[in-house]
Structure 1
Amino acid sequence: MKKLDKLILRAFAGPFLLTFAVVQFILLTQTLLKYLDDLVGKDLGVGVLAQLLFYFSVLLVATSLPLAVLLSSLMTYGNLGEHHELTAIKASGIALTRILRPVFLLTAALAVGAFWFNQYVVPWANLKAFSLLWDVRQQKLALDIREGVFYSGIPGYTIKVNQKLGENGDRLRGVMIYDHTQKSGNATVMLADSGRMFTRFGGAYLGFELFQGHSYVEQPDARDRAGATFVRQAFSRNLVTFSMASFGMVRTDQDLFKENRMMLNIGQLRTATDSVQKRLRGQRTQLPRQMDAYYTYLRFDTLGRGANRRVAAWQVPPARLVPASVSVVQQAANRARNLQTFARSSSEQLTDLARHSVQYRMEIYRKYAESAAVLVMFLIGAPLGAIIKKGGLGVPILVAILFFIVYYVLSILGLKYAKEFVLPAGAGMLLSDGVLLPVGLFFLYQAYHDSGLFEGDFWRRFAPRPGWWAQLRARLTALSRRPGAVALP
């Protein structure tokens, strides 16, 4: 490796690692805010939160990498241009394409690595992240007994506390506990003047130590409802224990999530696509035969003149023809309504199958599109940095944000158009890359020819010259004076 390549790669490595870490942090924060309601108040523990952070960080690599390449390439070649290093290298007879080559090769390696990452690591991370997120969503909120509010978070019990005292709120006044474990309504209730709340056996159980209270149990008589017995028992101290097993997080079998398209690689996605397409073709083939059952060819055979004898309408007495016609019309209307309902439901089923097929193909092309975006962003960032010749975090960040917003909006539009069958799945997912690639090649052409794309003299060449309108009108006037020409107004 030559010294020039080492110089450029060292200049690129620092900004790339910094911007990649910053982008990862920003996107991870946005993701956590999206799922914040599912995480707060459930006492998940550091281990579960660390797993979620790790899995979501892995998933965001595909989004962070193109933006990091764009911003770091802008900063690298902008710094080289700002400090006149780029000019000195060009003055020694080295072309711009040779200067871009080391970072381009590194970016190409990153694109290949991103494709492998999307193919094998991202499906695994999706499976781990969203299966864990599902279990987190199913977990109950942490125990939160409030003053004066009936709390039913513990299965089989309803608890009400009038007042909570003490530093930790474990001293209770006015305790009421309804026992529903026997499935007999509010037949068992316990009242106490005061009590104490604490955990037992390492937090696996919640204990209530009650003082100066009564328990009331109603025991109905199955034969005589009016003869139910009512038992009242006083106590000076009573210990009630509740199981906290319902507050623990139960892990779901991850095999239940493996069929989701986000958890599949390209080979599995193609197999799933072929399966859906086969079902779609089968239903389309069977549809005409299924609809044929709703058609009936009617004859005037129901008028009592023999099942095998056809009768012309003019041979049927009017008194018998009118009821028969009304019956035929009613049958036809009923069959038409049934056919309409069947056609609507069949159309919805076919549309759903077609949409599933498109979504599988979109996932395939997404892996290619996100990998190609790394190269596209380099083709935009590196030549643009050489043209702007501004390093640091000012202008490069503004330019990078602008192009990333364009890339993001085009990606969303392509995704929507592909889902709505406006564009093919491949065209929709590659829309952003296809639009931004010519822009990058244009910047590369301008940087290679040292054009001042952001200078006033560059655009002044395209402005019309002074007096162009007068010259055009003089020429038109001269043409209008020719014999047979129409005079100008």
Structure 2
Amino acid sequence: MKILDRYILKSFLITFTSVFVILFFIFVLQGIWLFISELAGKNLDFMVIIKFLVFYSPKIVPLVLPLSILLASIMTFGSFAENYEFAAMKSAGISLGRAMKALTVFIFLLSFAAFFFANNVIPKAEYKFINLRKDILQTKPAMAIAEGQFNTIGNSNIKVDKKSGENGELLEGVTMHVKSNQGFGNKTVIKAKSGELKSEEGSNILKLDLIDGYYYEDIYPKKYEEQHKMPFAKANFKKYRINIDLTNLNKSEQAGEIVNTNTMLNVNELNFTIDSLQTSFNKDVVSFTENISQGIEFGLKPKPVNNPGKFKSAEDILASLTIEEKNRVYESALNNISSTDFSIQTNKNDLFEKQKNINKHWIALHEKFVVAFSCLLMFFIGAPLGAIIRKGGLGLPIVFAVLIFITFHFINTFGKKVAQENGMPPFLGTWLSSFILTPLAVSLTYRATNDIGVMVNFDWITEPFQKLVNKIFNNNNEAEINDNDN
């Protein structure tokens, strides 16, 4: 390796390491803030908290790594251009492309390492993270519930007024909202004066015994004409046990967003799971279609009539019926339509949730490749941009880096959200930000390597601020001089 390559690589690595450590620490603090309700005041051992943060940290890397590469590239190459080191290289016959050669090889290797990390380390860390949270809840079940607020656990929202006992397992003033599996909101409400949380070692079930309370449940009638009556069931109880499946923690992430085991699988496992889920989904679609078709045919199947030859159409049959018979026919038809519509909506919601699950697995699969590509993308945006703006340090480079990365992250989040809701193919949703910013990377690299726009001066952005700061300092100095004279 030549002296120049070592110098450029060393300069980049020093900046990159510093930026990565700082950003990583900031995002870890953000994670602590997100999980503060689960960690604070729980009498957890110090080593448990350390494990909690260690298992959480790997999922931060795909977010921190591209931003660190982008900022380090802009700062390094901006400093070279600002100190006229690129001008010296050019006078020696060394182009910008040649100066980037060693770093390009390094970034390619770093991209492969990022893919390996996303494919192997993050799934295992996520698995251990979820199981650690489950183990904490088993040893300290009251940790799952905070006082005075609704806590989402699995398919229920639980609120308690007060906790007591050695581990906070004794509850007072319990309110539960149980969500419907069919997408109709909270169908069941349970209120109890007191309760007790129990758990057994090695079990995934958290037992909640409610004492002296009431049970309310909304009933969704199958007949359309009865829906406006809003029927419900009510019962009181002395003791009522609810089993909470702790494996539902796999469906709760720090921001409340529902995820599945897709975050704990590598590429091979994701491919196998997607194939199984898609096969099951296709079978469900065929089964649902056949059931609806058979139900419609059964509901529309006409009853035998006398002298069918004299009736030429359905209007003739209706004309031969009395008013009471017509009303019964209309009522039967409405009931069949309402039942069929209810079945269609229920199955539609079920199929939509299954499709979302498939989309999540596809997104998780593509994300592993996007992480690797984003490293290359950010380098080929940051390096030529730093050479063009000719500004190093922590001023203008941070502004450009933050703007570019926010744009990348926003488009990436938006695309994945739309793809998850089946608004676009998962491939397009996951790669959308890369597709949009790749032309920018190509354009900047072309302009920088061909000396197009390398001499563009961005002093017109920073100069007004510098003048304002100098003016303020000059006024302060003049005021101090006048005070001393007096």
Counterparts of 1:403 and 1:326 in 2: how far apart (Å)? 67
Deviation larger for 97-106 or 319-328: 319-328
Counterparts of 1:316 and 1:157 in 2: how far apart (Å)? 69
Instruction: Please name the residue that 1:407 is paired with.
Output: 408
> TM-score, with normalisation over the residues of structure 1?
0.67
Deviations along 1:255-278, one digit per CA (max 9) or x if unpaired, are 989971110011111111111111
Cα offset for 1:153?
2.6
Counterparts of 1:434 and 1:321 in 2: how far apart (Å)? 68
The DSSP-based 3-state class of the residue aligned with 2:100 is helix
The DSSP-based 3-state class of the residue aligned with 1:293 is helix
Counterparts of 2:94 and 2:388 in 1: how far apart (Å)? 16
Instruction: Please name the residue that 1:126 is paired with.
Output: 126
The DSSP-based 3-state class of the residue aligned with 2:398 is helix
The DSSP-based 3-state class of the residue aligned with 1:60 is helix
Q: Which 4+ runs in 1 deviate beyond 6 A?
A: 155-159, 252-259, 314-319
**Preserved CA contact (<8 Å) 2:27 2:60:** yes
- Aligned pairs for 1:108-147 (under 5 A) are 108-136=108-136, 139=140, 140=142
Closer, same or farther in 2 for the Cα pair 1:337/1:2, shift >3 Å? Answer: same
Counterparts of 1:30 and 1:317 in 2: how far apart (Å)? 70
In the alignment, residue 366 of structure 1 is paired with which amino acid? E
In the alignment, residue 301 of structure 1 is paired with which amino acid? P
**Preserved CA contact (<8 Å) 2:115 2:369:** yes
Instruction: Please name the residue that 1:282 is paired with.
Output: 283
- Aligned pairs for 1:415-454 (under 5 A) are 415-452=416-453
**Preserved CA contact (<8 Å) 1:41 1:141:** no
Cα offset for 1:445?
1.3
Closer, same or farther in 2 for the Cα pair 1:350/1:293, shift >3 Å? Answer: same
Deviations along 1:427-469, one digit per CA (max 9) or x if unpaired, are 1111111111111111111111223367379x9xxxxxxxxxx
In the alignment, residue 361 of structure 1 is paired with which amino acid? W
Closer, same or farther in 2 for the Cα pair 1:454/1:356, shift >3 Å? Answer: farther
Cα offset for 1:287?
2.6
Counterparts of 1:133 and 1:362 in 2: how far apart (Å)? 25
**Preserved CA contact (<8 Å) 2:74 2:386:** yes
The DSSP-based 3-state class of the residue aligned with 1:41 is coil
**Preserved CA contact (<8 Å) 2:262 2:364:** yes
Counterparts of 1:278 and 1:137 in 2: how far apart (Å)? 35
**Preserved CA contact (<8 Å) 1:78 1:391:** yes
**Preserved CA contact (<8 Å) 2:70 2:381:** yes
Counterparts of 1:350 and 1:256 in 2: how far apart (Å)? 21
Instruction: Please name the residue that 1:330 is paired with.
Output: 331
Closer, same or farther in 2 for the Cα pair 1:439/1:352, shift >3 Å? Answer: same
Closer, same or farther in 2 for the Cα pair 1:128/1:157, shift >3 Å? Answer: closer
- Aligned pairs for 1:236-385 (under 5 A) are 260-294=261-295, 295=297, 296-299=299-302, 301=304, 305=306, 310=308, 312=310, 321-385=322-386
Unaligned 5+ segments in structure 1 are 160-179, 182-251, 460-489
Cα offset for 1:398?
1.7
**Preserved CA contact (<8 Å) 2:123 2:264:** yes
Instruction: Please name the residue that 1:57 is paired with.
Output: 57
Counterparts of 1:263 and 1:150 in 2: how far apart (Å)? 36
Closer, same or farther in 2 for the Cα pair 1:158/1:375, shift >3 Å? Answer: closer
Counterparts of 2:82 and 2:53 in 1: how far apart (Å)? 39
The DSSP-based 3-state class of the residue aligned with 2:434 is helix
Matched, 1:41 2:41: yes
Counterparts of 1:24 and 1:317 in 2: how far apart (Å)? 76
Closer, same or farther in 2 for the Cα pair 1:293/1:4, shift >3 Å? Answer: same
Cα offset for 1:279?
1.4
The DSSP-based 3-state class of the residue aligned with 2:423 is coil
Counterparts of 2:92 and 2:170 in 1: how far apart (Å)? 84
Counterparts of 2:317 and 2:375 in 1: how far apart (Å)? 81
**Preserved CA contact (<8 Å) 2:80 2:86:** yes
Counterparts of 2:318 and 2:265 in 1: how far apart (Å)? 71
Cα offset for 1:299?
4.3
Counterparts of 1:157 and 1:87 in 2: how far apart (Å)? 73
Instruction: Please name the residue that 2:164 is paired with.
Output: 152
Instruction: Please name the residue that 1:19 is paired with.
Output: 19
**Preserved CA contact (<8 Å) 1:38 1:137:** no
In the alignment, residue 368 of structure 1 is paired with which amino acid? F
Closer, same or farther in 2 for the Cα pair 1:319/1:404, shift >3 Å? Answer: closer
In the alignment, residue 2 of structure 1 is paired with which amino acid? K
Closer, same or farther in 2 for the Cα pair 1:449/1:284, shift >3 Å? Answer: same
Counterparts of 1:158 and 1:269 in 2: how far apart (Å)? 41
Closer, same or farther in 2 for the Cα pair 1:337/1:97, shift >3 Å? Answer: same
Counterparts of 1:318 and 1:402 in 2: how far apart (Å)? 73
In the alignment, residue 165 of structure 2 is paired with which amino acid? G
Cα offset for 1:286?
2.1
Deviations along 1:80-127, one digit per CA (max 9) or x if unpaired, are 112211111111111211111111110110000000111111100111
Counterparts of 1:290 and 1:254 in 2: how far apart (Å)? 31
Cα offset for 1:151?
6.1
The structure having more radius of gyration, on CA atoms, is: 1
Counterparts of 2:414 and 2:455 in 1: how far apart (Å)? 29
Identity of aligned residues (%): 28
Cα offset for 1:38?
1.2
Cα offset for 1:348?
1.3
Cα offset for 1:321?
3.7
Counterparts of 2:72 and 2:402 in 1: how far apart (Å)? 12
Unaligned 5+ segments in structure 2 are 147-160, 173-194, 197-245, 252-258, 461-486
Cα offset for 1:319?
8.5
Counterparts of 1:371 and 1:400 in 2: how far apart (Å)? 18
Closer, same or farther in 2 for the Cα pair 1:42/1:325, shift >3 Å? Answer: same
**Preserved CA contact (<8 Å) 1:39 1:136:** no
**Preserved CA contact (<8 Å) 2:419 2:429:** yes
Instruction: Please name the residue that 1:67 is paired with.
Output: 67
**Preserved CA contact (<8 Å) 1:70 1:400:** yes
> TM-score, with normalisation over the residues of structure 2?
0.67
Deviations along 1:228-265, one digit per CA (max 9) or x if unpaired, are xxxxxxxxxxxxxxxxxxxxxxxx89998997111001
Counterparts of 1:6 and 1:127 in 2: how far apart (Å)? 40
Counterparts of 1:254 and 1:158 in 2: how far apart (Å)? 22
Closer, same or farther in 2 for the Cα pair 1:329/1:79, shift >3 Å? Answer: same
Cα offset for 1:133?
2.8
Counterparts of 1:57 and 1:299 in 2: how far apart (Å)? 66
